[in-house]
Homo-oligomer: A and B are copies of this chain.
Amino acid sequence: MIVSLLIIGDELLNGRIKDLNTQVAAQFCDRLGLSLNHTITIRDDKEAFNQAVDFLGAHSQGILISGGLGPTEDDITKTMLASYIRQPLIENDLARDLVANHYRAFDKEWTPNLNHYHMIPRGVTPLHNPEGLAPGLFFKNESLWLAALPGVPREFKAMLEQSIGPQISDQNLIKTQQLSIRTFGIPEEKIFGHLMPNLWGYLAQFGKVSSLPQIRGIDILVRSPQLGPSQINEIKNFLNNSPLAEFIWSFDDTSLVQAIIELAKEKSCLISLAESCTGGLTASRMTDISGCSSIFMGSAVTYSNESKQEILGVKESTLLQWGAVSEEVAREMAQGSLKKYQSNIALSFTGIAGPGGGSIKKPVGMVCMAVATEKKVKSHTYYFRGTREQLKWRFSEQGLFLLLNELKNY
């Protein structure tokens, strides 16, 4: 089944907020075997709504609609939908019950003078919203269904899973299978250029190939409904014996931090960090993963020189002799973290995320890292490009790869 997504909201087209619902809808569709072929974002405007629904309806059998279901005057999805399907808004008992229940779930009481959530277009089914107050709306005729959901990402996601899934998943859907070939440390051109010029053609036998440059490196995907376990094994064997092997860090969609946490658990290896330029980003990424607490001890975010000394035991003389951004300081930071957090592997970062603070000898984008274990400490220096936020991310990503490699040999 081909579906599309219509996102409504001036705030997205003014750049005020970032759309988070496309990816959620896309992953939902992918999981259910639905093909999401188009998304359109429009302003809060009836004419644009009609044109977009016409366009999407011509190219799909179902349209997910995000946004504009709230209580304020710019929330006009319901009236646009009513007008599009040429039905009046009428009081709906099920909607009234749902709304009353939604309010009770938040320890509130609903009365009709609060909003008109109980009024919905005739012929439309109200849908339970597990995370918010406004109900969703579902309409279906012979050729097309329309599902209007709140734009708040938490509510949109919960409603997709819990209320839309059951409405549309009783079809005979065929799931697309996928193999991810995740590389690190080699550019796209080299992979498909002189390293393995026939790789694209080889993979294309098995399904649709795409190549995705990520910050960390190139991910190559092969997707097809016919891609079974034996084909996947065949490709893996081929690649594991190819020149690309040393650049592949994963064949699945586990995130880098997840891979680290799983391996650390397997090896009962406690991890800690010491972060200067990454400012807690790496710790935050680790702690996004539920269950990290059994192996992740913490991170000493030490932005000032004094805190590097006081908390991590970095020597004043090292700071004076080499400067805060140096492999020497990185090494003492990692060793300090190892000791203070009583961990088995500690990773440290000290660098220049910019935009200020760079010099010719130590430019913005320079970062020193160290990985310490009970037995040894190894340090590295790298140079990256990017904005402050991008550099923080790249530093963090590079450090996590060092950590993963150290863990593999632990």
Whether B71 and A189, one on each chain, are in contact in the complex, defined by CB atoms closer than 8 angstroms, is yes
Q: Assuming A210-B11, A279-B288, A388-B288, is B188 touching A72 (CB within 8 A)?
A: yes
Q: What B residues does A15 contact at CB under 8 A? A: 23-30
| Nearest B-chain residue to A22, judged by Cβ | B19
The residue on B at minimum CB distance from A20 is B18
Interface residues of A in 276-308 (CB under 8 A from B): 277-284, 286-288, 290-293, 296-304, 306-307
User: A48 contacts the other chain (Cβ, under 8 Å)?
Assistant: yes
Contact with B along A212-229 (1 / 0, CB 8 A): 111000010101000000
Instruction: Kindly identify, within residues 12 to 59 of chain A, every residue whose CB is under 8 Å from any CB belonging to chain B.
Output: 12-20, 22-30, 36-44, 48, 51-52, 55, 59
Given A23-B18, A37-B42, are A298 and B304 also a contact pair (CB < 8 Å)?
yes
Do B304 and A300 touch across chains, with their CB atoms under 8 A apart?
Answer: no
Q: Is A126 an interface residue (CB 8 A)?
A: no
Q: Chain B contacts of A341 at CB under 8 A?
A: 304, 306-307, 310-311
| A221 close to B16 (CB less than 8 A) | yes
In the complex, what residues of B have CB within 8 A of residue A17's CB? 23, 212, 214
- Kindly state whether residue A88 has any CB partner on chain B within 8 Å: no
Interface pair B14/A223, CB less than 8 Å apart = yes
Residues of B within 8 A of A212 (CB): 11, 16-17
Task: Say whether A390 faces chain B, with CB atoms less than 8 Å apart.
Answer: yes
A13 to B299 CA separation, bound complex (whole angstroms): 36
Are A200 and B279 CB-contacts (below 8 A) given A19-B19, A298-B304? no
Q: Is the interface of A mostly helix, strand, loop or mixed?
A: mixed
- From B19, B71, B311, B386, contact of A311 by CB (8 A): B311
Q: Does chain B have a CB within 8 A of A70? A: yes
- Whether the pair A40, B43 counts as a contact (CB closer than 8 A) is no
A320 proximal to B (CB < 8 A): no
A166 at the binding interface (Cβ < 8 Å): no
Which residues from chain B contact A279 at a C-beta distance below 8 Å?
A: 283-284, 286-288
Q: Shortest CB–CB separation between residue A332 and chain B, in angstroms?
A: 16
Interface: A193 (CB within 8 A): yes
Given A26-B12, A210-B11, check contact A284 B286 (CB 8 Å). no
> Can you give 11 contacting A-B residue pairs, CB < 8 Å?
A15-B27, A19-B19, A39-B39, A74-B209, A114-B189, A281-B287, A287-B353, A297-B307, A306-B341, A307-B341, A310-B340
Name A residues whose Cβ lies closer than 8 Å to a Cβ of B.
10-20, 22-30, 36-44, 48, 51-52, 55, 59, 70-74, 114-115, 131, 152, 154, 188-189, 192-193, 200, 208-214, 219, 221, 223, 272-273, 275, 277-284, 286-288, 290-293, 296-304, 306-307, 310-311, 340-342, 353-357, 385-390, 392
